[in-house]
Amino acid sequence: MRCSSSWKGASRCLEMMLRYSLTAARSRPREKDGPWRNPVQAAQRMQASLETTRLLSQVRSALVSQPYESGSEETLGAFFALQAAEQRGFDPASLHIDEKEAMRIAAAFKRYDADGDDAINAAELRALTSELTRREVSMEEAEEELRALDKSGKSVSLEQWAQWWTTQSVEADQAR
């Protein structure tokens, strides 16, 4: 099987691989005392397969639609960052932002999350804020922002930062 380098081709490839895996698993010879004899285990495997199919479908839809206009890698990173944040209870709609804006915010956040721990420290926050405000932010300003966002002053999550950033954007728009 050969996969295209485009996101659409890659998502189709993922689908084909999943279908192949499911077909192979269904056609596997059943062992006399093996796991296929146990209906509970078979049902659990099927549930896991259905969940995997559902998740791959979501990924495929996100990749094909690409609501955020940027590189494909950045879009994929933003998609997964938003998915993780939403599992922790983040709701972009509560901030009055649409999917495209949420993807833009998540992509910017992921771009500066250098260590990939889903949180940014003062140095990463400084670089991110400098880019988005188009002015040089000092380390002291970044540390002050970080303390305002997080009581420990060590790092800030996507959810905390998105809430702060959208509030700052609204205030800046109102001041104009």
- State how many domains the chain has: 2
pLDDT number for residue 7: 46
pLDDT number for residue 4: 46
State the CATH number of the domain containing residue 83. 1.10.238.10
* Cβ atoms of residues 157 and 119 within 8 Å: yes
DSSP letter at 134 equals T
In degrees rounded to 5, what are phi and psi of residue 156? -135, 140
Last residue of a domain, one of 65, 84, 102: 65
pLDDT number for residue 105: 87
Q: Which residues contact 130 (CB under 8 A, 6 or more apart)?
A: 136, 137
pLDDT number for residue 10: 56
pTM (two decimals): 0.58
Mean pLDDT, the chain cut into blocks of 10 residues (176 residues total):
48 62 59 60 78 74 58 72 85 88 86 86 91 90 89 88 81 56
3-state secondary structure 2-30: CCCCCHHHHHHHHHHHHHHHHHHHHHCCC
In degrees rounded to 5, what are phi and psi of residue 68? -100, 125
Last residue of a domain, one of 41, 65, 89: 65
pLDDT number for residue 69: 55
pLDDT number for residue 108: 87
| Burial bucket for residue 66 (CB in 10 Å: 0-12, 13-18, 19+) | middle
pLDDT number for residue 2: 46
